[in-house]
Amino acid sequence: MKGKVGACVCGMMGLFMIASTGMGSESGLDSPIGMITVDGHMVPDIGPLPTAVPTPPTNLNYAAKISLGKQLYFDGRLSKNNAISCAFCHNPVTGFADPNQTSAGVGGLRGGRQSPTVYNTAFNPFQFWDGRAGSLEEQAIGPIHNPVEMAETHESVVPKIAKINGYKEEFQKVFGTGVSLQGIAEAIAAYERTIISTNSAFDKFVLGDPKAMGEDAQRGMDVFKGKGRCILCHNDSNFTDNQFHNLGVPQVGPMKEDLGRYYVTLRERDKGAFKTPTLRSITESAPYMHDGAFKTLEEVVDFFDQGGKANPQLSPLMKPLGLTPQEKTDLIAFMKALTGEPIPFEFPTLPE
């Protein structure tokens, strides 16, 4: 799945000033961190995540709802063949993402995009690579009726789940109603909001532990915020501007052409533009880019170093960087330092 929220967030940080991005971000969110200017572009600086996870007032999380959502997230019975669950493409063992270039759905059909991580999607105002969903709730049920993913229908999945006595009882306990599509969406979204990557070596470093990051990662952070220009898109506490950019990524996989954000907005400038992903725990969720074009971070860095691939809608932020081999190595060391602490996990027992 691929989703986002629209909610306010309070920050933890008395260490950082509150400032607006001032860039007309589609997210509409203000930065809880200070600002930094790179090549004339002012963007939010990077820093620790807020302690409060954005939660819409219409779907407040509590333990029973999260537990129900976790069961649904791992339950293949949401799909037509009763085998493809959310976790099938967003596996906790592989960074809540898919290690394959593109995911296989019902009948072995493959979509054209790489399944992104669920880490920190609670902090994103748009979901899916093209941002077509405006909340995690909307995102959570999208793949159910996608013919190349779960291939079920919203009309039939509700009575199917309602026939399972365990779910019938849990929905009554959590929502005070029978099984509903809205309840399925809210429960899965509630669980996904608990999947947070934080307390990385980077977080510890910026919060005052000078030994948390090695010297190579510290040099890499300087490259990230300077010569590498990474911070122009991967900024703020979740290392994403929540905007859409055409980077000239080579189109690989089953789709001959993917126009990305254009399918949502029909704006010419959005052709080939895709959402900036978080870099938190990025080492866990290879392959990379919207179509899984690159298998390693080294390939990604080389691609950006070359300035992407020229095309009419190429982002003006893209340009050749001229990074040295050492700078590339240090930059990757910094990205490795963004790996969050392990999330304790146990597979749920599914209702019968």
Amino acid at 329: T
- DSSP, collapsed to helix, strand or coil, labels residue 38 as strand
* Beta-carbon contacts of residue 75 (< 8 Å; ≥ 6 apart): 85, 350
Catalytic, out of 137, 149, 152, 186 = 149
What are the φ/ψ torsions at residue 318 (nearest 5 degrees)? Answer: -85, 130
Q: For the residues of 276-313, what is the DSSP string, one character each?
A: PPP-TTGGGS-SBSTT--BSSHHHHHHHHHTT----TT
Whether 257 is catalytic is no
Query: In terms of residues, how long is the chain?
Result: 352
Q: Which tokens is 292 given?
A: 């899984």
Give bridge partners of residue 36 from the DSSP assignment: 43
What are the φ/ψ torsions at residue 68 (nearest 5 degrees)? Answer: -65, -45
Distance CA 11, CA 153 (A): 39
92 to 96, 118, 131, 143, 325: CA distances (angstroms): 4, 9, 23, 18, 33
Question: Treating both helix axes as pointing N-terminal to C-terminal, what angle do 63-73 and 181-192 enclose, rounded to 10 degrees?
Answer: 100
Amino acid at 143: P
Active site residue ranges: 149
